[in-house]
């Protein structure tokens, strides 16, 4: 028997596993609390909120769209009660995850809630519309990433965690090649629209810069984005001996964090400075998820 030291992107593989996992759980709790606070904004108690929900039905197959339209109509008829309940549930999820004795129960509840909102609130992230889904517009849907992060932070077995990472970033690569992203001004338009929204100083300038640089280059940019997402997807399976910038897996996770920051810029920070944003969108969740996969050093027994 020989002992070999390897680094893999297996969540929480080092001696600080419990501490790291708990910190990330608290970060997820903070996101749920922020979502709840945003849900209490005055806009959400008016007709604009159910109209926003019903808009996610457009382009979806009838079996997906019909429940969205029905729930949006029901919410519109009882907007104050419905929105208060939605906001309170999200605050409760955040507080539950933050309280250690009930954290796992709250994580499980957050998965169920996320799946429901992904369908009825986000129209499955637009994945079935065939046009609008793109990594820079939040695909595969911000709220389903909450569910994915909750599963990883449960924690899920390493094999399951790596498979989830592969599926997530593989789907991002596929979405990057959809017609909307490949259009000559597809990605440019996303950054241009973000620049027009209220944002912190300097962020609008960056969005305008990217919009200008990408104008007319949608196909090339979408191919580069797809290749990067595909490389990130497989990076968690790279062993230590395939070192790239220290380690293949670490480089992939670092690239995911950097890309998450760029995506968040393209998302105008989820519209949280507009008074109509319901969440910070996918950027921060992708970054948190990547942090959960940062490679740890561990000793393994090799036959």
Percent pLDDT > 90 in the chain is 76
Is the pLDDT score of 301 beyond 70?
A: no
Cα distance between residue 265 and residue 262, in whole Å = 5
Per-residue pLDDT tens for 211-243? 999 999 999 999 999 999 999 999 888 765 444
| Residue 14 pLDDT class (50, 70, 90 cuts) | very low
- Nearest CA among 69, 44, 47 for reference residue 57: 69
Hey, where are the domains in the chain?
2-302
When pLDDT is averaged across residues 160-168 and rounded to a whole number, the result is 94
Structure tokens at 174: 């596929």
Cα distance between residue 142 and residue 288, in whole Å = 12
């Amino acid at each position: 028997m020989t002992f070999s030291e390897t680094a893999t992107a297996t969540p929480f593989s080092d001696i600080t596993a419990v501490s790291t996992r708990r910190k990330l759980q608290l970060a997820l709790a903070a996101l749920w609390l922020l979502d709840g606070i945003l849900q209490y904004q005055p806009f959400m108690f008016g007709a604009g909120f159910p109209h926003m929900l019903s808009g996610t039905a457009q382009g979806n197959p009838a079996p997906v769209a019909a429940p969205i339209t029905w729930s949006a109509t029901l919410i519109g008829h009882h907007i104050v009660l419905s929105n208060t309940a939605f906001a309170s549930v999200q605050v409760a999820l955040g507080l539950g995850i933050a309280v250690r004795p009930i954290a796992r129960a709250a994580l499980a509840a957050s998965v169920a809630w996320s799946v429901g909102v992904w369908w009825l609130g986000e129209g499955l992230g637009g994945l079935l519309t065939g046009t609008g889904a793109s990594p820079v517009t939040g695909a595969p849907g911000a709220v389903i990433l909450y569910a994915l992060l909750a599963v990883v932070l449960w924690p899920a077995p390493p094999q399951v965690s790596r498979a989830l990472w592969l599926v997530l970033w593989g789907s991002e690569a596929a979405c990057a090649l959809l017609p909307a992203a490949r259009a000559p001004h597809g990605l440019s338009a996303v950054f241009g629209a973000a620049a027009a929204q209220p944002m912190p100083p300097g962020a609008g300038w960056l969005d305008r810069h990217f919009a200008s640089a990408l104008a007319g280059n949608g196909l090339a940019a979408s191919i580069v984005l797809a290749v990067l997402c595909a490389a990130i997807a497989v990076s968690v399976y790279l062993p230590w001996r395939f070192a790239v910038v220290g380690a293949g897996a670490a480089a992939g996770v670092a690239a995911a964090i950097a890309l998450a920051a760029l995506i968040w810029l393209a998302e105008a920070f989820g519209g949280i400075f507009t008074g109509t944003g319901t969440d910070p969108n996918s950027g921060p969740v992708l970054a948190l998820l990547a942090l959960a996969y940062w490679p740890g050093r561990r000793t393994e027994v090799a036959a």
